[in-house]
Amino acid sequence: MSRKTVKVESLREHANNILGSTDPYFTKDFKSGMCALLEKSLHLSGNYNGFMFINTNDSEYDTLGYFSRKYF
């Protein structure tokens, strides 16, 4: 099995683009999975620096707005 290295910053930037998108393809469940994968990757690599909601007025728990965020 070959090993590859991925820059966590690139992964974070790509995920942030998806999480900030209003494309209907990126559903609440899709964004939830993206958040879970990104948070795990950031924590494991020692790069977790928090996140912010894209719209704090639309951030009720378990809604699309809750998973529309930006990680640092």
Amino acid 63: pLDDT: 97
Longest dimension (CA), the chain: 47
Written as one letter, the residue type at 3 is: R
Interval 50-68: pLDDT, tens: 999 999 999 999 999 999 9
- Sequence letter at residue 12: R
Domain positions in the chain: 8-71
- The pLDDT tens digits of the residues spanning 19-48 come to 999 999 999 999 999 999 999 999 999 999
The answer for 31, left when phi > 0, alpha when psi is -120 to 50, beta otherwise, is: alpha
